[in-house]
Amino acid sequence: MVVVMELGYGNETINFDSKCEGMFWLGTKEPRFFTHARFVMSTTVTRYFLSGKLKLCHHQIVLYGTSAASSKNDIYVVNLRSDTFTLPTSSMKKAMVEAHLGDDVYGEDPTVNRLQKECATLLGKDAALLIPTGTMGNTAAMLSHCHGLFEEILLGDQSHMHFGEVGAIATLAGIHSRTVTNKCDGTMDINELREKIRIKKDPHYPQTRVICLENTHNRCGGTILPLNFLEQVRDVADAHHLAMHLDGARLMHAAVAQEVAPCEIAQYFDSVSMCFSKGLACPVGSILAGSKDFIERALWARKALGGGMRQAGVIAAPMLVALNEIVPHLREDHARARKIAQERPRMHVTDEEFEVLGERISVQMMPFSDTLIRFVTYYGITDKDVDKAIKKLQYVLTGRKRDSEPNSSAFRDKSPLQ
């Protein structure tokens, strides 16, 4: 049995034969990948790794069976690393080709204008603005909210804005970020949040202007913030005359899961950014929504950040399609994710993968932290994929096949959109 595990950065192969005795030193310079791998192995089949190889490559964990390491052609690959792997649907491509276009920097692209209007209505705001990416949307939002020097925002220590946007808020917007500890469900302690606000005029302190939340919360496991938490934070913001911004990259996912209209979530925020390239199958595109004044300033910020686009209707057209054709199916992605989570604990132990499973399956995941691996279901991941992933995971984690084949009867043999 050779188990190959790809993770982290670098591109080296390490033979475990003589190296490990229950502990695994992967030779990577990234400690979190080391501990992460240890987590995988401690829950996994240490004996397979002892006789196997470990391959480090870019940003993924892949567990292969015996001969899978040499030939990937006959492997059924289930890519659960990120919902950014979605590909545009054929109706999106058609919409791009047929879109009515104009110069959007002059505000004259009819498809962009239609998208912005629809999104403003959807989110219950005065206006909306097409932005190329989520990172640019969040940065433009902070530039629009903060008006001068010596200002700061409050945001979760696990938030994407703080963790995964290259410090753009500091570098490009010149704004100081003060973090509040994220609880594991993505919320924060309200008292800690309140204590971190700095509005006293004191030349030692930057002035707090904005509270930022993230929903769904990526690094906290795709968790959804409860509406009563949003209400509590709004009360704190109002009491101190602060703006609230939502990094709602996956706001539609939260709304669908909570069975509320997106504007019911957005109502607690002065500004909302939402991505269409994550799980909504668009190749590119985000929306920033807020008051007329806010969006007017954001327009300047977008231009300054290099996001003024010309015939941007080619981007807006698939986003309009996504609202009609992909959003109604998010419920199925949620069900598939839940199925993987629920099946995981029911795993048993046995032997050789190919002999046991009768096929070779590769499941791609994303290491997030010492104790967290990310699996994401999204447009393009089918019930068949989920069944294969479960089958493989059960074997890897336990060494055994389940007594019966997994069966995603809810949406059997259907692609997410058919």
Ligand X SMILES: Cc1ncc(COP(=O)(O)O)c(C=O)c1O
Interface with ligand X (CB under 6 A): 133-135, 160, 214, 218, 247, 249, 275, 277-278, 286
For 68, phi then psi, to 5°, come to -60, -30
Q: Least separation, in Å, of the C-beta of 136 and ligand X?
A: 7
Cβ proximity to ligand X, 218 vs 223, nearer residue = 218
Picking from 378, 379, 405, the residue whose alpha carbon sits closest to that of residue 392 is 405
Cβ proximity to ligand X, 76 vs 85, nearer residue = 85
Cβ proximity to ligand X, 160 vs 336, nearer residue = 160
**Would you mind telling me the total number of residues written for the chain in this entry?**
418
For the chain, the straight-line distance linking the first and the last C-alpha, in angstroms and rounded, comes to 38
3-state secondary structure labels for all residues of 175-202: CEEEEECECCCCCECHHHHHHHCCCCCC
Separation CA 404–CA 211 (nearest Å):
49
DSSP state of 256: H
Our separate counts of H helices and E strands in the chain read: 16, 13
Q: Least separation, in Å, of the C-beta of 86 and ligand X?
A: 12
Cβ–Cβ < 8 Å for 57, 411: no
Cβ proximity to ligand X, 116 vs 277, nearer residue = 277
Q: Least separation, in Å, of the C-beta of 214 and ligand X?
A: 5
Locate 129 and state its tokens. 């603005």
Q: Least separation, in Å, of the C-beta of 145 and ligand X?
A: 17
Q: Least separation, in Å, of the C-beta of 160 and ligand X?
A: 4
Cβ proximity to ligand X, 166 vs 341, nearer residue = 166
Q: Least separation, in Å, of the C-beta of 205 and ligand X?
A: 28
Q: Least separation, in Å, of the C-beta of 216 and ligand X?
A: 8
Locate 145 and state its tokens. 């909210």
Cβ proximity to ligand X, 8 vs 156, nearer residue = 156
DSSP output for 50-108: HTSEEEE-TT-EEE--TGGGT--TT-EEEE-S-GGG----HHHHHHHHH-----GGGT-
Using CB positions, name the residue nearest to ligand X. Answer: 134
Picking from 53, 81, 82, 56, the residue whose alpha carbon sits closest to that of residue 65 is 53
Cβ proximity to ligand X, 208 vs 218, nearer residue = 218
Cβ proximity to ligand X, 63 vs 131, nearer residue = 131
Cβ proximity to ligand X, 41 vs 233, nearer residue = 233
Locate 264 and state its tokens. 């019911």
Q: Least separation, in Å, of the C-beta of 257 and ligand X?
A: 15
Picking from 270, 268, 243, the residue whose alpha carbon sits closest to that of residue 258 is 268
Q: Least separation, in Å, of the C-beta of 53 and ligand X?
A: 31
Q: Strand, coil or helix: what is 326?
A: coil
